[in-house]
């Protein structure tokens, strides 16, 4: 619970500490969650309470040939929190997310989910992991050969034996959660991704990720390339999903406004590690020139 301290800066977060306690029970009762059997805080008989680390990086080394991305990197993500990762372009923020869902493997150290090393998981375990930890890619990465409905229902079609009608209904539910429900946008289910605007595409990508009601959502630069009002909308959505679905979120961004708004804690990627990880008020008060330069947008 220690994450959800009311923070004076991040507006909506302050109203949340009370809500969060009840969220777990509520969000676990979701229809899809029951159908798929992903319960928040429980995995393979292990449990994790709110505020305890659910994902842990232990002394992780990662390099692409001579290009070293991480050296001895440590980071803990606590259940139920929104952790924002900030850092310059090309420093390895996306790599960090990809390590978490096993799209990339660390050469040294461990990336643990409920204490299980993601790097050692076999195909079946990875499949299970990816139903619980889902990623929203930077450009959305919608499948352009499929309709929006099929895009959003992709994971359900893959992992459950639901019929088409039920999948479509679940897809519509997820779309409604991101504000693109068929009530407001009657044609959306049958449209192809190409006709959507960039902002809508990101929201559909978000809907696709939440269709299986994951426990953890990884957002790769959700607001990059959007106009301010769309940025806001996405940021509010991240908050709302945390509240309504009880998800743990990791948000990669270099947009500080979004970072302050959505975060419980902020981690700064610097020099192949995360030397500064703190809750928002503490982080904003850090005096270190590295932090100050980054959050004030100064180039050193």
Partner 1 sequence: MTQPTGDPTGDPTGDPTGDPTGSGAGAEPKSDEPSALREWVINVGTTINAGIKWCGGLAVMFGQAAIRGPRRPFGLFDISYQIVQLGIRSIPVTTMMSLFVGMILAWQFGEALADFGAKNSLGYVTSLALVRELVPTLLAVTVGTKMATGMTAELGSMKVTEQIDAISALGADPIKKLVWPRLVAASIAMPLLVAWGNVVAMLGGMLISDTVFDVPAGYFYHTYIDELEPLHYIMSETKALVFGGLAGIVGCYQGFTTKFGTEAVGLATTETVIAVSVMVLLADFALTTFFMPIG
Ligand X SMILES: Nc1ncnc2c1ncn2[C@@H]1O[C@H](COP(=O)(O)OP(=O)(O)O)[C@@H](O)[C@H]1O
Give the binding range for Mg ion (CB under 5 A) out of 88-96, 242-250, 273-281, 289-297.
88-96
User: Does 134 engage in binding with Mg ion (CB under 5 A)?
Assistant: no
Partner whose binding site includes residue 127, from partner 1, Mg ion, ligand X, none (CB under 5 to 8 Å by kind): partner 1
User: Does 92 engage in binding with ligand X (CB under 6 A)?
Assistant: yes
Token pair of 190 as six digits: 């049958």
Q: How far is the CB of 145 from partner 1 (least distance, A)?
A: 9
Q: How far is the CB of 251 from ligand X (least distance, A)?
A: 12
Contact residue for ligand X among 27, 28, 91, 134 (CB under 6 A): 91
Partner whose binding site includes residue 89, from Mg ion, ligand X, partner 1, none (CB under 5 to 8 Å by kind): ligand X
Look at the alpha carbons of 91, 226, 151, 36 in this order and tell me if their dihedral is positive or negative.
Answer: positive
Strand order in the sheet with 116-117: 67-78, 53-64, 108-113, 116-117
Q: Is the separation of the CB atoms in 205 and 122 below 8 Å? A: no
Give the binding range for partner 1 (CB under 8 A) out of 111-119, 154-162, 225-233, 247-255.
154-162
User: Does 138 engage in binding with partner 1 (CB under 8 A)?
Assistant: yes
User: Does 94 engage in binding with ligand X (CB under 6 A)?
Assistant: yes
Of residues 138 and 248, the one with the C-beta less far from partner 1: 138
Look at the alpha carbons of 36, 37, 40, 46 in this order and tell me if their dihedral is positive or negative.
Answer: negative
Contact residue for partner 1 among 20, 40, 69, 131 (CB under 8 A): 131
At which residue do the structure tokens 């946008």 appear? Answer: 185
User: Does 66 engage in binding with ligand X (CB under 6 A)?
Assistant: no
Contact residue for Mg ion among 7, 94, 249, 258 (CB under 5 A): 94
Token pair of 283 as six digits: 């982080």
User: Does 222 engage in binding with ligand X (CB under 6 A)?
Assistant: no
| CB-side neighbour CA atoms (13 Å) of 190 | 2
Residues 81-120 interacting with partner 1 (rule: CB under 8 A): 98, 101, 103
Among left, alpha and beta (phi > 0; psi -120 to 50; other), residue 126 is: alpha
CA atoms of 137 and 141, how far apart (whole Å):
6
Of residues 89 and 300, the one with the C-beta less far from ligand X: 89
Residues 200-219 interacting with partner 1 (rule: CB under 8 A): 208
243-253 burial, b if ≥16 CB within 10 A, otherwise e?
bebbbbbbbbb
Partner whose binding site includes residue 95, from partner 1, ligand X, Mg ion, none (CB under 5 to 8 Å by kind): ligand X
User: Does 90 engage in binding with ligand X (CB under 6 A)?
Assistant: yes
For 163-232, the DSSP string reads -HHHHHHHHHHHHHHTT--TTTSTTGGG--GGGS-HHHHHHHHHHHHHTT--SEEEEESTTTT--HHHHH
User: Does 161 engage in binding with partner 1 (CB under 8 A)?
Assistant: no
Strand, coil or helix: what is 125?
Answer: helix
Nearest Cα to Cα of residue 129 among 109, 85, 99, 163: 99
Q: Which residues bind Mg ion (CB under 5 A)?
A: 94
Q: Which residues bind partner 1 (CB under 8 A)?
A: 98, 101, 103, 123, 126-128, 130-131, 134-135, 137-139, 141-144, 154-155, 158-159, 208
Q: Which residues bind ligand X (CB under 6 A)?
A: 64, 67, 69, 87, 89-95
């Amino acid at each position: 619970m220690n994450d959800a301290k009311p923070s004076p800066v991040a507006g909506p977060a302050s109203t949340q500490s009370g809500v969060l306690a009840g969220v777990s029970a509520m969000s676990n009762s979701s229809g899809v969650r029951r159908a798929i059997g992903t319960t928040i805080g429980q995995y393979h008989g292990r449990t994790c309470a709110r505020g305890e680390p659910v994902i842990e990086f232990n002394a992780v080394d990662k390099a692409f040939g001579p290009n070293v991305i991480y050296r001895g990197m440590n980071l803990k993500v606590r259940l139920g929190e929104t952790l924002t990762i900030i850092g310059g372009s090309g420093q390895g923020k996306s790599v960090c997310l990809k390590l978490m869902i096993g799209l990339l493997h660390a050469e040294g150290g461990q990336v643990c989910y409920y204490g299980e090393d993601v790097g050692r998981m076999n195909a079946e375990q990875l499949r299970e992991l990816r139903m619980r930890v889902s990623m929203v890619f930077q450009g959305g990465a919608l499948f352009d050969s499929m309709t929006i409905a099929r895009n959003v229902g992709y994971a359900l079609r893959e992992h459950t034996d639901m019929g088409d009608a039920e999948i479509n209904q679940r897809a519509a539910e997820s779309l409604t959660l991101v504000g693109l429900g068929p009530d407001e946008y009657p044609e959306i289910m049958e449209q192809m991704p190409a006709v959507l605007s960039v902002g809508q595409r990101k929201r559909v990508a978000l809907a696709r990720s939440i269709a299986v009601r994951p426990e953890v959502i990884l957002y790769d630069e959700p607001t990059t390339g959007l106009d301010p009002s769309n940025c806001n909308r996405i940021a509010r959505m991240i908050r709302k999903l945390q509240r309504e679905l009880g998800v743990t979120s990791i948000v990669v961004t270099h947009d500080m406004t979004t970072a302050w708004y959505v975060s419980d804690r902020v981690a700064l990627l610097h020099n192949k590690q995360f030397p500064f990880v703190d809750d928002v008020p503490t982080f904003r008060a850090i005096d270190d020139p590295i932090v100050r330069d980054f959050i004030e947008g100064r180039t050193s």
